[in-house]
Amino acid sequence: MNFVFDVDGTLTPSRDVINHVFADWFLNFAKNNNVYLVSGSDYQKTLEQLGTSICHTVKGVYNCAGNALNVKGQPVYSNSFELTDDEYRFLETLLELSAYPERTGQHIEMRTGLCNFSIVGRGASREQRKTYIHYDTAINERKNLAELINRQFPRLEATVAGETGIDIYLYGKDKAQIADDLSSFLVIRLR
């Protein structure tokens, strides 16, 4: 049996490191089971959150919504993806039109196989993130923006991701694509 664990919000607090007591337990679990990880972040961020021991013990680490796979720290594959000029300008327009007042930079981040888009920005502090989360919860800004992107660009799929972002990838290239690699899997969400 294969076990697939999401990283942010499941094994770790969003964009944070794993609890050291839980890390010891999880490492032992990974040594005795077929464990795979999946994250919207890149491999380097997953290493920072979970550590080399866990990332090299699990059977595989799917990053960027499954658009890249690393096994024992070695890249196995990656999917390429670039926004067109029209798609990029559309995201810039959404950023300009958002009523949310605070911007911290790094709003459009290209990753392997996907683009992460954030109104508040990837540079937001923990407090700035909390403020945006409260705002987004009240008005569903990210959900509405993702729907706009999906209607405007049928080749793309935009989904609410993490606490403050929207992940954008080619249609069908989301985390579910790892099912192609794993014939049967069980997803466990730890909270």
Question: Which residues have C-beta within 8 Å of that of residue 50, sequence separation ≥ 6?
Answer: 7, 11, 12, 17, 18, 23, 37
Cβ proximity of 28 and 61 under 8 Å: no
* Other beta carbons less than 10 A from residue 54's beta carbon: 24
Taking CA atoms, 13 is separated from 84, 97, 126, 128, 155, in Å, by 33, 30, 11, 16, 32
Cβ proximity of 145 and 99 under 8 Å: no
Please name the helix (run of DSSP H) or strand (run of DSSP E) that holds residue 159, with its range, or none.
Answer: strand 156-161
- Chain centroid to Cα 74, Å, comes to 20
Model pLDDT, residue 116: 95
The C-alpha atoms of residue 59 and residue 62 are separated, in whole angstroms, by 10
* Other beta carbons less than 10 A from residue 37's beta carbon: 25
Model pLDDT, residue 85: 98
The C-alpha atoms of residue 114 and residue 71 are separated, in whole angstroms, by 20
- Chain centroid to Cα 149, Å, comes to 18
Model pLDDT, residue 169: 95
Could you state, in chain order, the average pLDDT of each consecutive group of 10 residues for the chain (191 residues)?
A: 91 91 97 95 95 97 94 94 97 98 95 96 94 97 98 97 94 88 56 44
The C-alpha atoms of residue 164 and residue 51 are separated, in whole angstroms, by 24
Model pLDDT, residue 184: 47
